[in-house]
Amino acid sequence: MQVNENAIWTSVCGDLEVTMSSATFSYWIRPCFIKGITEIDAERVIVEVASPSAFHLQQIDSRYYGQIKQALEKQLVKRVELALVVGQRESAVISRQLSVDSQKEGGLFEEKKVEPVETKGLFSRYTFGSFVVGGSNNLAYAAAKAVVEYPGIRHNPLFIWGGVGVGKTHLMQAVGHALVAKGIRKVTCITSEQFTNDLINSLRSRTVDAFKKKYREVGALLVDDVQFFAGKESTQEEFFHTFNQLYMNGVQIVMTSDRKPQEINKLEERLVSRFLGGLTVDIGLPDYEMRVGILRQKATEVHANVSGEIINLIAGSVMTNARELEGVFVRIINEAGLSERAINQALVEKIVGVKMERENKRLRPIQLISLVAKYYDFKNKDLLGKSRKAALVEARHVAIYLLRDDLGLQLTKIGELMGGRDHTTIMHAEEKIRGEFETSLPVREKIMKLRQEMYL
């Protein structure tokens, strides 16, 4: 997408400056800049807005996220997925990269030694071609594709987080395969446990220099499950220095975790700051359309003849992560093979435990209200009461939104469940949260976590 990022940000600043005090604008907005714009499709783009520090980013996120997003959408005339990052201007990164490359080459015209392509830890099935894209992962997918287009410059590091089995490792490895195809040499994919074990072994055998060479002379480093670095002080120390050297050399780094960097307990602040310096994206549980796509792809992979009706039944009945969904599908296929039966409704009912006409598994309304109350550390009676405390109002509105959006209840029914409130109050609450889901990252994350718990 060819746009003048500086001109767009200047226009955004012009819009924001008239809506806030001069001191607020100068301190919080003026230091920011657009680090990059990536097109998702004809109607949506990812816009990375960079802040000078992790603290600055957190304040922008909590106070001005919605205003910046709306101003960007006004200028771009597109839906914007706003990503806040810590970073410096790209020109500085490119200058540093050129300087490092010049030093490595020992001169502009020195002939470079051609090294063989070397990869470690990549599995052939985890490619972009086999990755099913949907509403819960399209932002992460677009970011990963941008990494391949601009390795070491755009989205470095890329930090992908989400629950178990949602496709984090698959997407990270797909980046690795694409970088290899692009000509990047020595693409290394490891788990945090492997990095830790290698460090321990190098200390025992007194081969630390070899360990450093192994991880600091790579073309790209992909690290899975970095949450397991938590509490390991020596490992964090070594990874910090490895990260710094790779970043200074313009080497692409991609990491995955089951939570955001700032939510990993016992992870050093300096590592959290480094991880937030790139782009952090999340992957949620697959929606119905994605589950259908995953099952169709799996059926093709294993050469199984399964009707669309059966695939729709399984997708509508197994509301879990992709890994478990594939596991259920494989069990059904194996059962059909052992009993020499066709894959039909009766067999699916036996394995999955549902009827074709049964509705998608969902909580009862009172269970959903209890889940939201527990998540926000309230009691059911608090949500149904009249208190107007800010945290309680948010919890109440989120419960209303989920009752309407996920369970499909009528406004009047929700009003009855929520302490006898009238339908206009319910409508206002739903619209408010729906708007915040689009503009506020904290609210969006809370709702995604609640939805994950709803279908466990």
Q: What percent of the chain has pLDDT over 70?
A: 88
Lowest mean pLDDT among 99-108, 160-169, 433-442: 99-108
What pLDDT is stored for residue 309 in this prediction?
Answer: 84
Q: At residue 135, does pLDDT exceed 70?
A: yes
Task: Report pLDDT for 116.
Answer: 47
pLDDT per position as a tens digit, 243-275? 999 998 889 999 999 888 988 888 999 999 999
Beta-ladder partners of 233: none
Name the residue ranges covered by the structural domains of the chain: 5-86, 118-283, 288-352, 365-454
pLDDT of residue 187: 92
Residue carrying structure tokens 């206009």: 424
Which range is most confident: 243-257, 323-337, 417-431, 442-456? 243-257
What local confidence, expressed as pLDDT, does residue 113 receive?
45
**What pLDDT score does 331 carry?**
82
5-86 folds as GMP Synthetase; Chain A, domain 3 (3.30.300)
Rounded to an integer, the average pLDDT of 345-355 is: 70
pLDDT given at position 339: 67
Do 118-283 and 365-454 have matching folds? Answer: no
Q: What is the pLDDT of residue 422?
A: 84
pTM for the whole thing?
0.57
Task: Give the tens place of pLDDT for each residue, 38-86.
Answer: 887 778 888 888 888 777 787 788 788 888 988 998 888 888 888 888 7
CATH number attached to the domain at 365-454: 1.10.1750.10
The answer on pLDDT for 424 being more than 70 is yes
Domain covering 288-352 in this structure, CATH number: 1.10.8.60
- The fold for domain 118-283 equals Rossmann fold (3.40.50)
442-456 average pLDDT score: 75
